[in-house]
Amino acid sequence: MVWMVNSKMENGQQILSVVKTKLNHRLQQAGLTITALLLVVTGLFSYAMPSDAAFLKSINTRPWETVKLPSDESPLDVDFLPENPEQGWIVGTNSSIFQTADGGATWQQKKLDLGTEKYRLTSVSFSGQEGWIAGQPSILLHTKDGGNAWERMPLSEKLPGSPSDLMALGPDSVEMVTDIGAIYQTQDAGRNWKAMVNDAFGVFKSLHRSDDGQYVAVSSRGNFFSTWKPGSTAWEPFNRNSSRRLQGMGFTPDNRLWMLARGGQLQFTNSSDPEDWQKAQAPESFNSWGFLDLGYRTTDELWVVGGSGTLLVSYDNGKNWKKDGNVEDVPANLYKIEFTSPDRGYILGQRGTFLRYRGQSV
């Protein structure tokens, strides 16, 4: 057996030597050497590389702080009580629920009696002391005292899909989107629900809501997107404007649209028209990790998160970009970023990853 292995290695080396000799001969006929060929290829690569987008400069501050969660379960959503922003909640995989009383600096795990089922809790939303949690398989939880006590709310078996995204609207009022894009509202704490659309959107990979109640959703395969406005009875579909599949979409502070596509591509609309797109840009074109979410801290400052600890920032509304190299070593994909105010922001990622915004002076 050893003789056979050595024989194969020798044969392989002989073949490689013959190939190398023939390549040298052909190159010499063309007046080149292998070294010269490598120099030519390197020069062509350097010429083709966009000097303004290949490697971004790093910011010289540390505005984000990594916070350890009590478990490695992946957090999927976070919200804070509007009247007391020190009080907050995180929900995630395998029925995980975490609570903070110091603005997210530390977290404690909250154990609820949900039976033996392991739920994927995807959304949490508060209005005043009243809060809601949703997840799959179908589950909806409700609290009226800031989370001290939670009640499980009944859901109809005829509900299209399972609760996925929530927006608490006021006393006894919440808007719910299922995981196939059916939109419902209740005004009596979940005893009765009103359908806001005649037909569901279908399975989506990304869903964002604007401050005035509009939605934009990206299909599960990323090949089209749809929008919905309050008062409409149906989703309005649109084709993507390039061959790149979509990763996520959302709204700017002035209700234009932003779009993230595969390969680290980013795009904005000129107006609120979903077909009025600016030229696409690739802030860091030689980064193989894609972008997954975008959030505005102010009307001009926006942050983008993505795979393998990717975190970019623009201070001029997307014209120029820098990266936060301080989080590149975070061993997780960062898939959700949200600012509740210019001073408070949060990033969620895989395996218990949570970052909170601490300000430019940190």
Radius of gyration from C-alpha coordinates of the chain: 25
- Give the pLDDT of the chain (362 residues) as one tens digit per residue: 434 434 444 454 554 454 455 555 554 555 555 554 444 444 443 444 444 445 799 999 999 999 999 999 999 999 999 999 999 999 999 999 999 999 999 999 999 999 999 999 999 999 999 999 999 999 999 999 999 999 999 999 999 999 999 999 999 999 999 999 999 999 999 999 999 999 999 999 999 999 999 999 999 999 999 999 999 999 999 999 999 999 999 999 999 999 999 999 999 999 999 999 999 999 986 665 789 999 999 999 999 999 999 999 999 999 999 999 999 889 899 999 999 999 999 999 999 999 999 986 44
Instruction: Locate 196 and state its tokens.
Output: 């806001």
69 Cβ contact partners less than 8 Å away, ≥ 6 residues apart: 75, 90, 98, 107, 352, 353, 354
Nearest Cα neighbor of 139 from 148, 126, 127, 150 is 150
Parallel/antiparallel/unpaired status of strands 257-261 and 265-268: antiparallel
pTM attached to this predicted model: 0.84
pLDDT at 4: 42
User: What torsion do the CA atoms of 157, 161, 165, 166 make, to the nearest 10 degrees?
Assistant: -30
Parallel/antiparallel/unpaired status of strands 204-209 and 194-195: unpaired
In angstroms, rounded to a whole number, what is the distance separating the alpha carbons of residues 222 and 23? Answer: 44
Instruction: Locate 21 and state its tokens.
Output: 């000799």
pLDDT at 6: 43
In angstroms, rounded to a whole number, what is the distance separating the alpha carbons of residues 128 and 81? Answer: 6
Alpha helices in 49-185 (DSSP H): none
pLDDT at 329: 87
Burial (CB count within 10 angstroms: exposed 0-12, middle 13-18, buried 19+), residue 38: exposed
Nearest Cα neighbor of 214 from 201, 231, 198, 199 is 231
In angstroms, rounded to a whole number, what is the distance separating the alpha carbons of residues 207 and 135? Answer: 15
